[in-house]
Structure 1
Amino acid sequence: MSDSESDHADKPAARPGRGGGPFGGMNLPAEKSLNFGPSAKRLLGKLRPERLWMALVLLLAVVSVTFSVLGPKLLGQGTNLIFAGAVSKTLPAGVTQAQVIAGLRADGKGQQADLLSGMTLTPGHGIDFVALSNVLLWVMVLYVFASVFGWLQAYVLNGVVQRTIYRLREEIEAKINRLPLRYFDSKPRGELLSRVTNDVDNISQSLQQTLSQAVTSLLTVVGVIVMMFILSPLLALIALVTVPLTLVITAVIAKRSQKLFVAQWKHTGELNGQIEETFTGHALVKVFGRQREVDARFAAKNDELFEASFGAQFISGMIMPALTFIGNLVYVAIAVVGGLQVASGVMQIGDVQAFIQYSRQFTQPLAQLGSMANLLQSGVASAERVFELLDADEQSPDPEPAETPSETRGRLVFDEVSFSYSPDKPLIHNLNLVAEPGQTVAIVGPTGAGKTTLVNLMMRFYEIDSGTITLDGTDVSLMTRDDLRSRLGMVLQDTWLFGGTIRDNIAYGRPDATEDEILDAATATYVDRFVRTLPDGYDTVLDDEGANVSAGEKQLLTIARAFLAKPSVLILDEATSSVDTRTEVLVQKAMSALRADRTSFVIAHRLSTIREADLILVMESGDIVEQGTHAQLLAAEGAYFDLYNAQFAAAVTDEV
């Protein structure tokens, strides 16, 4: 196990199943979700900067729905013209409508007389095609305008949603930069990535679909209710019976499905974390032959996701069929009652036709609002996960005004420093240390002694519990983190390269560096030696894992990057563990020249690499138990003596 890994073993453990390694368990306990109402309200609150555009969306929707709602009324007039013309043609010319009705009543045909009394007839004439064409023309104009304004509404709303999601992603990015390292140590990367990608995309999709449908559906319901009461108050009351039934059914089903949507996205994040973990350690999985175990864990988690997703979609999907069934019952009731009113002359057949269209327009938006519950619940479930990230405790803010060292020398002092990853497990106790400018300080000790922790405290990746750390006489807690870290250069045992050229990866340490400075740093760290052998030289493009260069070459690149930054304090955490012995000797020589004017901290397991250090610190259980030069510590025959002899005795035994 590496020293970096072992030191982190003292950190607060991730929640059960949240970490582990390629074979860590992923069975998380169920997390209590936020309330749907407050979460939905907070999500809609993200639209507040777009309120003027939302007002425009509402205005366009009103115009579009108004034109759309007037259409059935005009079509009903067209039906009345056709029916009245067909009936008029069967009547004798030269008589009036009143005479025809009176004659029917005299013959005892009162029902037919009532039917004709509700119509406008011209006996002997056929269908008035001029009037009918005018009606149809107006209907076409209305529907064209309704479509145009509906398209404009969708276009503006799309901009509103995308700008909102854009700001949300910016907020998440800024939040991640303010989170302490402790947060990332307690979360699997895949689960965190799922919140930043999958959950945000789901929020975007939910807002896009639900806002558009919600605005249009609500306005359509209002407009249709008005038109139905204008046509027939009795039929309108029959149609309104669906409203309370719709609300009750939607509320009952939504309450049951919401917790399943929360579980669905929780399991999605966990599955992503497991996949990312397995892919990262794919070679290790192969080496130890654990494919079956990994497959079994994947299958188990995939089954949990399937069950949650199936249940959420199935239960929420029941809303639409239930509301459609209610709508069909109302449709039958309206058709029967409307037919009776036409027969009695209270309504014309065209008005009943229009009302039936309105009843469909009325129940369809209600069903759409109900069916949107699954989209809305899914979006709010994702929003809860994003809000949990946004609400996480942040690192302490930088002081204002911040202090800065008056001179850059690299003198680092630990004064009575204490630190623990968890209150019940103290790690470092009242540590005192002085590193003078230009000194090379080596830190050695057994696994878990706290060597990497000491470096993390220098960088302020973690805040100390008590005591002070000063750099060139200035308390580092009174400096901004950017200022502090710009003065410290760090090379980790775990190398990190990004997708780009070798030149770009070296220049990451100082983006404004000139070409000559990049070449000088590469030459000093023996990067230039292997880069010259590549076909594209410094323009060679590396993938984000640096797979097209060896592990030792990747480590040399990270060392060159740190040297280019020209820090006043250089921290090397097992920085030469992946290079061969010959290259290590060369790099050590380069380091000796490059650290002449800077303080250097070197964490090393191979004690042969730190013999020339000005000061060697021996740590055990968070305490410095010995310090001195290599010769002094060997002469003292203490902890360092035991470590040194154990290491080289093991080497001799292996050779024998």
Structure 2
Amino acid sequence: MSVHGVTGEDRDDYTKGESREIRLRSRRLLLQIVRPHRARIAWTMLLVVVSAGAGVVGPAIIAYGIDTALPAILDGQDWMPLWVATIGYVVSAVVAGVLMYAYTVSSARISQAVLFSLRRRLFDHTQRLSLEFHEQYTSGRIIARQTSDLESIRDLLDQGLNELVRGILFMAFTGVAMVLLDPISGLVLAIALVPAILLTRWFQQRATVLFRETRSTSARMIVYFVETMTGIRAVKAFRTEARNDDEFGDRVEDYRLANHRVISIFGIYEPGIVAIGAISIATIVLLGGIRVIEGDLAIGVLLATALYARQFFQPIQGVAMFFNGYQSASAALEKISGVLEEEPTVPEPTQPQRLEASRGRIDFDEVRFAYATGADVLPSLDLHIPAGQTVALVGTTGAGKSTLAKLVSRFYDPTEGAVRLDGIDMRDLANEDLRRAVVMVTQEAYLFSGTVAENIALGRPQASREEIEGAARAVGAHAFIAALPDGYDTDVNKRGGRVSSGQRQLLSFARAFLADPAVLILDEATASLDIPSERLVQQALQTLLADRTAIIIAHRLSTVSIADRVLVMEHGRVIEDGSPAELIAAGGKFAGLHRAWRESLV
């Protein structure tokens, strides 16, 4: 099993122009999602500025206490300076703590609001994208966008930004305080800052590359896992477990090596920052001690500068951790912005025409269609289906039958020409009207979490229980539903609520019939049914399709027998058109297919 679909935003070989455009796109997205929270962001920034300032004054107060308050007590028994120093230190610590709490709560609210907006926006946009996108963009990548990528952004907003903003402000205020207390110590700190900046820059450049690699290897691992679990029946059928284990192991190993390289640069960066900080403190204490002996520096100032130097380099490690989260979140935001930049290939019309009650007449006017990556599937098709007619499409695989059905459902738009419903170009119809008028039932009957009744009422959530049961009875599904543990209230995803593939198909029929469309498309919809179930459905179809247009795609010619008209397709063209009896009598392609089918029943 190979991983397909890890392309586009998951690849590593960007050109410079592509990388720049992707970065700009992700920044535009970031600005869009934070813009509604500008007032709270400004308030939060004020809190962190005051909090950082209150946290920095502590060593200066200590210096005041040692150099001013203590001599005042020894010289004149004046305790007031000491009380001022003590109360000032406690007040600054309390203010810093309270404001830090307020800042943390406020920033958390911003991050949660941003994540809520981004998560909803990604879900809503992905739903609106056309079928073409979902057929090309693998489910594993979609899941990675909504899970691991958003979690990376959450980690950055909840923790990384706190470390960065507070760290930078704390370093800035500390540097200013040192210069005001002792310019020479401030100069030593400024000199030490040069190698720290160079080391940080080296780390940033390396981390940018390596964290992108971890995101790509993580995406490949998730995609492979999801695809394997989704196709577990094929895995079991062809006994590919051992080969899958090896391939998944390779992807896990790639992810492990990528993370190992990240850890390696952290192993250089963090000890390097610690060493620069230790050397700086030692130099400040040594020079300060000499000056204290010579009487050029007060001992309280020396202690304060040593404390400031120690505090100055602590946030740098937090900034390093920010780069960890930033690179991961930046790569995640680029991928999410890539999905959000996708435009539906089947867009909603800007000025839609209303279709309150469809009759179901379908016209193909000189329609040509080709998928984005292939040749023409329908080279030129003129087809007219009157309202209320049941049409069966037959032909070999690849003849264009399902493509025709997708055009009628407007999952795709024609490359040239027009598909019309009741004389209106489908590109001009509102999606709401189109979805109400046209319903497709495919072989892949999907049941969502919830009860049987909720699944049947998917197209008409407001339907009554009587209407739901009526639809189930019409397609022959009522008997097996009534036999379930809780009948129509049985949860289809819980033990006891499991249904067979044929039963799933019957439920999808009931769902479609309850929606009551003017046009019903059955794309291999009876393929999962056994012979008794198929006969039940055929009996129901003859009644339920009497007043609606129906397009039936089936290889089982027993289903075709209920059609008013049969279209035989080959290479995207209609080569035979007539009633089943007429085509059998004509002795052409359909007659041969019908004869082969009859012989297979013997």
TM-score, normalised by the number of residues in structure 1:
0.86
1:146 aligned onto 2:76: no
Alignment of 1:11-22 (within 5 A): 17-18=3-4
Does structure 2 conserve the Cα–Cα contact (< 8 Å) formed by 1:224 and 1:358?
yes
Deviation at 1:394, TM superposition (A): 2.6
Which residue is equivalent to 1:61? 48
Deviation at 1:41, TM superposition (A): 3.8
Deviation at 1:37, TM superposition (A): 6.0
Deviation at 1:404, TM superposition (A): 2.7
Does structure 2 conserve the Cα–Cα contact (< 8 Å) formed by 1:398 and 1:481?
yes
Return the match for 2:61 from 74, 83, 87.
74
Aligned partner of 1:462: which letter?
A: Y
Deviation at 1:135, TM superposition (A): 2.3
d(CA) in 2 for partners of 1:494 and 1:544?
20
- Partner-residue secondary structure (3-state), 1:490: strand
Residues 529-572 of structure 1, C-alpha deviation per residue, up to 9 Å, x if partnerless?
Answer: 11111221111111199971111111111100000000000111
Aligned partner of 1:427: which letter?
A: V
Does structure 2 conserve the Cα–Cα contact (< 8 Å) formed by 1:443 and 1:616?
yes
Return the match for 2:333 from 357, 362, 383.
383
Does structure 1 conserve the Cα–Cα contact (< 8 Å) formed by 2:392 and 2:554?
yes
1:259 aligned onto 2:246: no
Which residue is equivalent to 1:92? none
Residues 421-468 of structure 1, C-alpha deviation per residue, up to 9 Å, x if partnerless?
Answer: 146511102112111122110011111111111111111111101111
Return the match for 1:277 from 200, 223, 227.
227
Which residue is equivalent to 1:162? 112
Alignment of 1:31-430 (within 5 A): 31-32=13-14, 34-35=19-20, 38=24, 41-42=27-28, 44-45=30-31, 46-80=33-67, 122=74, 131-316=81-266, 318-405=268-355, 407-422=357-372, 425-430=375-380
Return the match for 1:457 from 395, 401, 407.
407
Aligned partner of 2:358: which letter?
A: T
- Partner-residue secondary structure (3-state), 2:158: helix
d(CA) in 1 for partners of 2:432 and 2:410?
10
Does structure 2 conserve the Cα–Cα contact (< 8 Å) formed by 1:157 and 1:208?
yes
Which residue is equivalent to 1:615? 565
Does structure 2 conserve the Cα–Cα contact (< 8 Å) formed by 1:195 and 1:386?
yes
- Partner-residue secondary structure (3-state), 1:376: helix
Deviation at 1:405, TM superposition (A): 3.6
- Partner-residue secondary structure (3-state), 1:505: helix
Does structure 2 conserve the Cα–Cα contact (< 8 Å) formed by 1:320 and 1:368?
no
1:640 aligned onto 2:594: no
Deviation at 1:317, TM superposition (A): 5.1
- Partner-residue secondary structure (3-state), 1:526: coil
Does structure 2 conserve the Cα–Cα contact (< 8 Å) formed by 1:496 and 1:545?
no
Deviation at 1:177, TM superposition (A): 2.5
- Partner-residue secondary structure (3-state), 1:626: strand
Which residue is equivalent to 1:108? none
Deviation at 1:490, TM superposition (A): 1.5
d(CA) in 1 for partners of 2:249 and 2:463?
50
Which residue is equivalent to 2:438? 488
Return the match for 1:596 from 540, 543, 546.
546
Q: How has the CA–CA distance of structure 1 residues 218 and 545 changed in structure 2, closer, same or farther, with 3 Å as cutoff? A: farther
d(CA) in 1 for partners of 2:30 and 2:521?
47
Return the match for 2:486 from 536, 542, 545.
536
d(CA) in 1 for partners of 2:141 and 2:361?
40
- Partner-residue secondary structure (3-state), 2:19: coil
TM-score, normalised by the number of residues in structure 2:
0.94
Aligned partner of 1:296: which letter?
A: D
d(CA) in 1 for partners of 2:82 and 2:426?
85
Q: How has the CA–CA distance of structure 1 residues 524 and 468 changed in structure 2, closer, same or farther, with 3 Å as cutoff? A: same
Does structure 2 conserve the Cα–Cα contact (< 8 Å) formed by 1:442 and 1:617?
yes
Which residue is equivalent to 1:104? none
Which has the larger displacement, 129-138 or 175-184?
129-138
d(CA) in 2 for partners of 1:340 and 1:188?
68
d(CA) in 2 for partners of 1:506 and 1:37?
45
Does structure 2 conserve the Cα–Cα contact (< 8 Å) formed by 1:316 and 1:373?
no
Deviation at 1:309, TM superposition (A): 2.1
Return the match for 2:581 from 631, 636, 640.
631
Q: How has the CA–CA distance of structure 1 residues 278 and 122 changed in structure 2, closer, same or farther, with 3 Å as cutoff? A: closer
If you compute each CA radius of gyration, which structure gives the higher value, 1 or 2?
Answer: 1
Deviation at 1:76, TM superposition (A): 2.1
Residues matched between the structures, number:
594
Residues 469-516 of structure 1, C-alpha deviation per residue, up to 9 Å, x if partnerless?
Answer: 111111111112232121012111001101101111111120111121
Alignment of 1:565-604 (within 5 A): 565-604=515-554
Does structure 2 conserve the Cα–Cα contact (< 8 Å) formed by 1:487 and 1:567?
yes
d(CA) in 1 for partners of 2:29 and 2:350?
32
Percent identity of equivalent pairs:
35
Does structure 1 conserve the Cα–Cα contact (< 8 Å) formed by 2:361 and 2:549?
yes
d(CA) in 2 for partners of 1:201 and 1:340?
52
Deviation at 1:29, TM superposition (A): 5.9
Does structure 1 conserve the Cα–Cα contact (< 8 Å) formed by 2:66 and 2:300?
yes
Which has the larger displacement, 169-178 or 335-344?
169-178
Does structure 1 conserve the Cα–Cα contact (< 8 Å) formed by 2:542 and 2:562?
no
Which has the larger displacement, 220-229 or 128-137?
128-137
- Partner-residue secondary structure (3-state), 1:284: helix
Does structure 2 conserve the Cα–Cα contact (< 8 Å) formed by 1:546 and 1:554?
no
Return the match for 1:557 from 500, 507, 512.
507
Does structure 2 conserve the Cα–Cα contact (< 8 Å) formed by 1:407 and 1:472?
no
Q: How has the CA–CA distance of structure 1 residues 240 and 367 changed in structure 2, closer, same or farther, with 3 Å as cutoff? A: farther
Deviation at 1:406, TM superposition (A): 6.5
d(CA) in 1 for partners of 2:495 and 2:418?
38
d(CA) in 2 for partners of 1:72 and 1:469?
78
d(CA) in 2 for partners of 1:445 and 1:173?
38
